[in-house]
């Protein structure tokens, strides 16, 4: 249980470092898309997976990358556009095939059909491994998700559709984009099980994903999980969220997964405030060292722009 807290703190710290780098104009380009508020979903989901399973990320993919055990310093190297990053400076959707992370998210929902294909490969190759597609409430309205959910149901694919519903598609409230009371409710129409879980609770997410993974590994097929969370920062770092009231944002921060899980661990006598501070200090020091390392890495050489197009 403490490991989940450490993972969530590490995610938060990596995101803060990335945001700081952008604000300090150490990095340029498209502003960071932070997963602050989503930490419990990534930490809980990845705790239920094993080596050989694959996750396909959204454009807020850093949480899952950290939770799958990718090195923060190499993630940061990618975010700093350095050649020592996993993607060698060619995309900020960090991929590490060896740890089962395919970084996607440049096109909303496009990772979901691809995750279905990986699940098909896992099934056809006779493995008991599963694929998990993260996607947002915005993506849930894309045809790619509907087609993939139906295909996964028809072909009994070992696929977990994990919707991170943070309530906003950029500036649009989910209630203005989705008529139904839940996204998970759509599962019935696909012929899949669907559940809503508290996305601020890493244990609830872990248990739901573990159940879906067990179902997938047993050959029973796909599942849809809707994990509800709060997007605590803007769509991208430069977004001050003027479209949300102070009261709403205050309420959202009271649902901060790290705050809530910290209170829970404290109530169970597993981690007191001092222990939490110590853990946070360790994690922040690790990330500070990672930032130092990333900053010192070289940019890709110009000839690398012309490489990696063809296999």
Partner 1 sequence: MNEVRVETTMFDTRLFRPAGPVKPGERDWPSFRGAINLAMREEMRRDPFVFQMGEDIASASPFGVTSGLVSEFGRERIRDAPCAEVAIVGAAVGAAIGGMRPIVEFQFGDFMSVAIDQLTHQAAMLRYLTGGQVRVPMVIRLPCGGGQGAGAQHSQSLYSWFAHVPGIKVVLPSTSMDAKALMKAAIRDDNPVLFFEHKQLYRTRWPVSAAFHDPDHVGEFGRAIVRREGTAISVVATLTMVHHALAAAAALAEEGISVEVIDPLTLVPFDTATVVDSVRKTGRLLVVDEAYLNFGVQAEVIATVVERAFDSLEASPRRLGNPGVPVPFAAPLQDDVLPGQARIAAAIRDLVRA
Choice between 39 and 78, CB closer to partner 1: 78
242-267 in b/e burial notation, b at 16+ Cβ within 10 A? eebeeeeeeebeebbbbebbbebbee
Window 53-82: residues binding partner 1 (CB under 8 A):
54
Q: How far is the CB of 147 from partner 1 (least distance, A)?
A: 4
C-alpha to C-alpha distance for 136 and 58, rounded to whole angstroms: 7
Tokens of 238: 């430069």
Backbone angles phi, psi at 211, to 5 degrees: -65, -45
Q: How far is the CB of 238 from partner 1 (least distance, A)?
A: 23
Q: Which of 143, 246, 250, 274 binds partner 1 (CB under 8 A)?
A: 143
C-alpha to C-alpha distance for 140 and 49, rounded to whole angstroms: 23
Using CB under 8 A as the binding rule, whether residue 24 contacts partner 1 is answered as no
Using CB under 8 A as the binding rule, whether residue 160 contacts partner 1 is answered as no
Using CB under 8 A as the binding rule, whether residue 126 contacts partner 1 is answered as no
Q: Single out the segment in contact with partner 1 by CB under 8 A; choices: 144-152, 197-205, 245-253, 273-281.
A: 144-152
Window 183-212: residues binding partner 1 (CB under 8 A):
none
DSSP-assigned letters across all residues of 116-132: HHHHHHHHHTT----EE
Binding mask 37-56 for partner 1 (x = CB under 8 A): -----------------x--
Distances (CA, A) of 239 to 30, 58, 104, 139, 236: 12, 18, 22, 20, 6
The count of residues in the chain is 311
Using CB under 8 A as the binding rule, whether residue 219 contacts partner 1 is answered as no
Using CB under 8 A as the binding rule, whether residue 303 contacts partner 1 is answered as no
What are the beta bridge partners of residue 134? Answer: 162
Q: Single out the segment in contact with partner 1 by CB under 8 A; choices: 22-30, 113-121, 214-222, 256-264.
A: 113-121
Q: Which of 114, 210, 236, 276 binds partner 1 (CB under 8 A)?
A: 114
Number of residues that bind partner 1 (CB under 8 A): 45
C-alpha to C-alpha distance for 47 and 2, rounded to whole angstroms: 12
Using CB under 8 A as the binding rule, whether residue 309 contacts partner 1 is answered as yes
129 CB-near residues (< 8 Å, 6+ apart): 50, 52, 53, 54, 122, 158, 217
What are the beta bridge partners of residue 41? Answer: none
Q: Which of 9, 115, 224, 271 binds partner 1 (CB under 8 A)?
A: 115
> Of the candidates 138, 227, 201, which has an alpha carbon nearest to the alpha carbon of residue 175?
138
Choice between 146 and 264, CB closer to partner 1: 146
Q: How far is the CB of 112 from partner 1 (least distance, A)?
A: 7
What are the beta bridge partners of residue 135? Answer: 163
C-alpha to C-alpha distance for 136 and 278, rounded to whole angstroms: 33
Window 82-101: residues binding partner 1 (CB under 8 A):
85-91, 93, 95-97
Q: How far is the CB of 85 from partner 1 (least distance, A)?
A: 8
Q: How many CA atoms lie within 13 A of 13 on its CB side?
A: 23
Q: Which of 16, 20, 71, 117 binds partner 1 (CB under 8 A)?
A: 117
C-alpha to C-alpha distance for 287 and 276, rounded to whole angstroms: 16
Q: How far is the CB of 118 from partner 1 (least distance, A)?
A: 4
> By the criterion CB under 8 A, which residues form the site for partner 1?
54, 85-91, 93, 95-97, 102-104, 106-107, 110, 112-122, 124-125, 131, 143-144, 147-148, 150-151, 154-155, 307-311
């Amino acid at each position: 249980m403490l490991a989940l807290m450490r993972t969530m703190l590490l995610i938060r710290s990596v995101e803060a470092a990335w945001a700081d780098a952008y604000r300090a104009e150490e990095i340029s380009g498209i502003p960071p898309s932070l997963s602050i508020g989503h930490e419990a979903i990534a930490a809980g989901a990845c705790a239920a997976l094993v080596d050989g399973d694959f996750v396909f990320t959204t454009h807020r993919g850093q949480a899952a990358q950290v939770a799958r055990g990718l090195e923060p310093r190499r993630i940061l190297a990618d975010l700093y556009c350095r050649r020592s990053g996993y993607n060698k400076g060619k995309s900020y959707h960090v991929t590490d095939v060896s740890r089962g992370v395919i970084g996607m998210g440049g096109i909303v929902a496009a990772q979901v059909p691809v995750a279905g294909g990986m699940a098909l490969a896992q099934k056809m190759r006779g493995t008991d491994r599963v694929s998990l597609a993260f996607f947002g409430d915005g993506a849930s309205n894309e045809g790619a998700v509907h087609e993939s959910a139906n295909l996964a149901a028809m072909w009994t694919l070992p696929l977990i559709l994990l919707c991170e519903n943070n309530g906003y598609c950029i500036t649009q409230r989910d209630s203005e984009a989705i008529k139904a009371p839940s996204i998970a409710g759509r599962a019935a129409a696909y012929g899949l099980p669907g559940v809503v879980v508290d996305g601020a609770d890493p244990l609830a997410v872990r248990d739901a994903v573990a159940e879906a993974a067990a179902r997938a590994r047993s050959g029973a097929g796909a599942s849809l999980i809707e994990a509800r969370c709060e997007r605590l920062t803007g769509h991208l770092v430069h977004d001050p969220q003027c479209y949300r009231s102070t009261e709403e944002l205050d309420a959202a921060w009271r649902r901060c997964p790290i705050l809530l899980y910290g209170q829970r661990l404290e109530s169970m006598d597993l981690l007191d405030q001092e222990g939490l501070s110590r853990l946070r200090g360790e994690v922040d020091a690790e990330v500070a060292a990672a930032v130092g390392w990333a900053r010192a890495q070289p940019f890709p050489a110009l000839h690398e722009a012309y490489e990696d197009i063809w296999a």
